[in-house]
Structure 1
Amino acid sequence: MFFGKTCPYCQMFDPIFRQVGERYRDFANFVKADIEEFYQLAASLGIMGTPATVAFVDGRPVEVAPGFMTAPQFRAFVEAVLNTLVVNRLIKGETPLHGPRCSRRWRGSRRLSRGEGQEA
Protein backbone atom coordinates (compact mmCIF):
# COMPACT_ATOMS: atom_id res chain seq x y z
CA MET A 1 0.00 0.00 0.00
CA PHE A 2 1.26 3.46 -0.85
CA PHE A 3 0.46 5.84 1.99
CA GLY A 4 1.10 9.40 3.07
CA LYS A 5 2.09 10.23 6.64
CA THR A 6 -0.51 13.01 6.93
CA CYS A 7 -3.26 11.29 4.91
CA PRO A 8 -6.33 10.70 7.12
CA TYR A 9 -7.67 7.98 4.81
CA CYS A 10 -4.32 6.17 5.04
CA GLN A 11 -4.52 6.30 8.83
CA MET A 12 -8.03 4.83 8.72
CA PHE A 13 -6.99 2.14 6.22
CA ASP A 14 -3.85 1.09 8.12
CA PRO A 15 -5.56 -1.18 10.70
CA ILE A 16 -7.64 -2.78 7.94
CA PHE A 17 -4.49 -3.35 5.87
CA ARG A 18 -2.75 -4.94 8.87
CA GLN A 19 -5.74 -7.11 9.82
CA VAL A 20 -6.27 -8.47 6.30
CA GLY A 21 -2.50 -8.80 5.85
CA GLU A 22 -2.33 -10.96 8.94
CA ARG A 23 -5.24 -13.10 7.76
CA TYR A 24 -3.64 -13.83 4.37
CA ARG A 25 0.01 -13.79 5.42
CA ASP A 26 0.54 -17.40 4.35
CA PHE A 27 -0.40 -16.52 0.77
CA ALA A 28 0.88 -13.00 0.16
CA ASN A 29 3.10 -10.22 1.46
CA PHE A 30 1.57 -6.95 2.57
CA VAL A 31 4.01 -4.07 2.37
CA LYS A 32 3.52 -0.35 3.03
CA ALA A 33 5.54 2.24 1.14
CA ASP A 34 5.64 5.95 2.01
CA ILE A 35 4.77 7.77 -1.20
CA GLU A 36 7.21 10.58 -0.34
CA GLU A 37 10.11 8.12 -0.14
CA PHE A 38 9.02 5.98 -3.09
CA TYR A 39 7.63 8.67 -5.38
CA GLN A 40 9.45 7.34 -8.46
CA LEU A 41 8.01 3.86 -7.99
CA ALA A 42 4.56 5.32 -7.34
CA ALA A 43 4.78 7.50 -10.46
CA SER A 44 5.91 4.56 -12.58
CA LEU A 45 2.78 2.69 -11.45
CA GLY A 46 0.49 5.65 -12.15
CA ILE A 47 -0.27 6.26 -8.46
CA MET A 48 -1.61 9.78 -8.09
CA GLY A 49 -3.07 9.70 -4.58
CA THR A 50 -3.08 7.83 -1.31
CA PRO A 51 -3.94 5.34 -0.10
CA ALA A 52 -3.36 3.17 -3.15
CA THR A 53 -2.99 -0.59 -3.09
CA VAL A 54 -1.04 -2.42 -5.78
CA ALA A 55 -1.03 -6.21 -6.11
CA PHE A 56 2.16 -7.67 -7.54
CA VAL A 57 2.53 -11.20 -8.87
CA ASP A 58 6.02 -12.42 -9.72
CA GLY A 59 7.32 -8.87 -9.38
CA ARG A 60 4.81 -7.32 -11.80
CA PRO A 61 1.82 -5.16 -10.91
CA VAL A 62 -1.42 -6.95 -11.78
CA GLU A 63 -4.10 -4.91 -10.02
CA VAL A 64 -4.40 -1.41 -8.58
CA ALA A 65 -7.05 -0.27 -6.10
CA PRO A 66 -6.91 3.48 -5.53
CA GLY A 67 -8.38 5.03 -2.42
CA PHE A 68 -9.75 3.88 0.92
CA MET A 69 -11.39 0.45 1.18
CA THR A 70 -13.48 -1.02 3.97
CA ALA A 71 -12.38 -4.36 5.41
CA PRO A 72 -14.87 -6.35 3.28
CA GLN A 73 -13.79 -4.46 0.15
CA PHE A 74 -10.10 -5.04 0.84
CA ARG A 75 -10.66 -8.74 1.62
CA ALA A 76 -12.56 -9.07 -1.69
CA PHE A 77 -9.67 -7.34 -3.51
CA VAL A 78 -7.09 -9.70 -1.97
CA GLU A 79 -9.23 -12.78 -2.59
CA ALA A 80 -9.84 -11.80 -6.23
CA VAL A 81 -6.09 -11.42 -6.84
CA LEU A 82 -5.32 -14.73 -5.10
CA ASN A 83 -8.10 -16.54 -6.98
CA THR A 84 -6.83 -15.21 -10.31
CA LEU A 85 -3.31 -16.29 -9.39
CA VAL A 86 -4.42 -19.82 -8.51
CA VAL A 87 -6.51 -20.22 -11.68
CA ASN A 88 -3.72 -18.89 -13.93
CA ARG A 89 -1.16 -21.23 -12.38
CA LEU A 90 -3.49 -24.22 -12.66
CA ILE A 91 -4.05 -23.44 -16.35
CA LYS A 92 -0.27 -23.40 -16.85
CA GLY A 93 0.05 -26.72 -14.99
CA GLU A 94 1.98 -25.12 -12.13
CA THR A 95 1.53 -25.48 -8.38
CA PRO A 96 -1.04 -22.83 -7.37
CA LEU A 97 0.80 -21.62 -4.27
CA HIS A 98 4.31 -22.60 -3.28
CA GLY A 99 4.29 -24.02 0.24
CA PRO A 100 4.19 -21.90 3.37
CA ARG A 101 4.54 -18.17 2.70
CA CYS A 102 4.73 -18.73 -1.06
CA SER A 103 8.51 -18.89 -0.71
CA ARG A 104 8.58 -15.29 0.52
CA ARG A 105 10.88 -13.92 3.20
CA TRP A 106 8.55 -11.49 5.01
CA ARG A 107 5.75 -12.33 7.41
CA GLY A 108 2.47 -10.46 7.66
CA SER A 109 2.42 -6.76 6.91
CA ARG A 110 5.46 -4.52 7.07
CA ARG A 111 6.75 -1.15 5.96
CA LEU A 112 9.09 -0.92 3.00
CA SER A 113 12.42 0.72 3.83
CA ARG A 114 14.40 3.01 1.57
CA GLY A 115 16.39 0.92 -0.87
CA GLU A 116 14.06 -2.10 -0.80
CA GLY A 117 12.14 -2.71 -3.98
CA GLN A 118 14.29 -0.25 -5.90
CA GLU A 119 16.12 -1.26 -9.07
CA ALA A 120 19.91 -1.06 -8.74
Structure 2
Amino acid sequence: MATKTVTDDSFKTDVLESDKPVLVDFWADWCGPCKMIAPALEEISEELADQVTIAKMDIMENTGIPGEMGVQSIPLMVLFKDGKPVAQKLGAAPKSQLKGWLESEL
Protein backbone atom coordinates (compact mmCIF):
# COMPACT_ATOMS: atom_id res chain seq x y z
CA MET A 1 0.00 0.00 0.00
CA ALA A 2 1.32 3.41 -0.91
CA THR A 3 1.43 6.46 1.29
CA LYS A 4 -1.89 7.91 2.36
CA THR A 5 -2.90 11.55 1.95
CA VAL A 6 -4.18 13.09 5.16
CA THR A 7 -6.02 16.40 5.53
CA ASP A 8 -6.99 18.60 8.48
CA ASP A 9 -10.44 16.97 8.27
CA SER A 10 -9.25 13.37 8.13
CA PHE A 11 -6.35 13.71 10.61
CA LYS A 12 -8.34 12.63 13.68
CA THR A 13 -9.69 9.49 12.00
CA ASP A 14 -6.64 8.57 9.92
CA VAL A 15 -3.92 9.36 12.45
CA LEU A 16 -5.16 9.82 16.01
CA GLU A 17 -7.67 6.94 15.91
CA SER A 18 -5.54 4.57 13.83
CA ASP A 19 -5.11 1.07 15.23
CA LYS A 20 -1.44 1.06 14.21
CA PRO A 21 1.34 3.66 14.33
CA VAL A 22 1.18 6.42 11.71
CA LEU A 23 4.14 8.37 10.39
CA VAL A 24 2.96 11.75 9.13
CA ASP A 25 5.20 13.48 6.59
CA PHE A 26 4.50 17.22 6.62
CA TRP A 27 5.51 18.55 3.21
CA ALA A 28 4.82 21.15 0.51
CA ASP A 29 5.05 21.18 -3.28
CA TRP A 30 7.77 23.87 -3.28
CA CYS A 31 10.00 21.93 -0.88
CA GLY A 32 12.89 20.25 -2.73
CA PRO A 33 14.00 17.97 0.15
CA CYS A 34 10.36 16.87 0.59
CA LYS A 35 10.30 15.69 -3.02
CA MET A 36 13.66 13.94 -2.55
CA ILE A 37 12.39 11.72 0.27
CA ALA A 38 8.97 11.00 -1.26
CA PRO A 39 10.08 7.89 -3.22
CA ALA A 40 11.88 6.51 -0.15
CA LEU A 41 8.75 6.97 1.96
CA GLU A 42 6.68 5.19 -0.72
CA GLU A 43 9.05 2.20 -0.59
CA ILE A 44 9.17 2.16 3.21
CA SER A 45 5.37 2.28 3.36
CA GLU A 46 5.24 -0.91 1.28
CA GLU A 47 8.05 -2.65 3.16
CA LEU A 48 6.60 -1.87 6.61
CA ALA A 49 2.91 -1.91 5.61
CA ASP A 50 1.96 -4.37 8.36
CA GLN A 51 3.66 -2.27 11.06
CA VAL A 52 2.99 1.36 10.21
CA THR A 53 0.91 3.63 7.98
CA ILE A 54 2.83 6.40 6.23
CA ALA A 55 0.73 9.49 5.63
CA LYS A 56 1.50 12.77 3.89
CA MET A 57 0.05 16.16 4.78
CA ASP A 58 0.50 19.14 2.45
CA ILE A 59 1.01 22.10 4.80
CA MET A 60 -0.07 24.59 2.12
CA GLU A 61 -3.46 22.92 1.68
CA ASN A 62 -3.90 22.05 5.36
CA THR A 63 -2.90 24.73 7.83
CA GLY A 64 -4.86 23.66 10.92
CA ILE A 65 -2.99 20.59 12.14
CA PRO A 66 0.50 21.82 11.16
CA GLY A 67 -0.31 25.11 12.92
CA GLU A 68 -1.49 23.33 16.08
CA MET A 69 1.66 21.20 16.06
CA GLY A 70 3.95 24.16 15.46
CA VAL A 71 5.38 22.81 12.20
CA GLN A 72 7.89 25.44 11.06
CA SER A 73 10.41 23.52 8.97
CA ILE A 74 9.79 20.75 6.48
CA PRO A 75 10.14 17.95 5.67
CA LEU A 76 9.08 17.00 9.18
CA MET A 77 8.08 13.44 9.96
CA VAL A 78 6.14 12.79 13.15
CA LEU A 79 5.36 9.29 14.38
CA PHE A 80 2.06 8.88 16.21
CA LYS A 81 1.25 5.91 18.42
CA ASP A 82 -2.12 5.59 20.15
CA GLY A 83 -3.00 9.12 19.08
CA LYS A 84 0.12 10.74 20.52
CA PRO A 85 3.27 12.05 18.82
CA VAL A 86 6.13 9.87 20.09
CA ALA A 87 9.03 10.76 17.79
CA GLN A 88 9.95 13.19 15.06
CA LYS A 89 12.61 13.64 12.43
CA LEU A 90 13.35 16.91 10.68
CA GLY A 91 14.92 17.14 7.24
CA ALA A 92 15.68 14.81 4.38
CA ALA A 93 17.76 11.68 4.85
CA PRO A 94 18.63 8.63 2.74
CA LYS A 95 16.07 5.84 2.71
CA SER A 96 18.24 3.53 4.84
CA GLN A 97 18.47 6.20 7.54
CA LEU A 98 14.74 6.99 7.44
CA LYS A 99 13.81 3.32 7.62
CA GLY A 100 16.32 2.62 10.41
CA TRP A 101 15.02 5.54 12.44
CA LEU A 102 11.40 4.48 11.93
CA GLU A 103 12.06 0.84 12.80
CA SER A 104 13.87 1.88 15.97
CA GLU A 105 10.81 3.89 17.06
CA LEU A 106 8.14 1.29 16.27
- How does the TM-score come out when normalised to structure 2? 0.72
1:38 corresponds to which of 39, 47, 62:
62
Q: Which one of 48, 68, 71 corresponds to residue 47 of structure 1?
A: 71
| Percentage of identical aligned residues | 28
Name the CA distance, whole Å, in 2 between partners of 1:46 and 1:80. Answer: 24
Q: Distance in 2 between matches of 1:37 and 1:80?
A: 31
> Whose strand fraction is larger, Structure 1's or Structure 2's?
2
Matched, 1:26 2:50: yes
Q: Count matched residues.
A: 82
Render the CA deviation track for 1:18-72: whole Å, top value 9, x for unaligned.
Answer: 1111110101100000011222211222221111100000111111111111111
Runs of 4+ displaced beyond 3 Å: none
User: TM-score of the superposition, structure 1-length normalised?
Assistant: 0.64
Question: Any idea what SS the aligned residue of 1:65 has?
Answer: strand
- Letter of the aligned partner of 2:45 in structure 1? G
* Bigger-Rg structure (1/2): 1
Gaps of 5+ in 1: 83-120
For 1:9, the equivalent position in structure 2 comes to 33
Structure 1 segment 1-120 matched on structure 2, within 5 A: 1-82=25-106
Gaps of 5+ in 2: 1-24
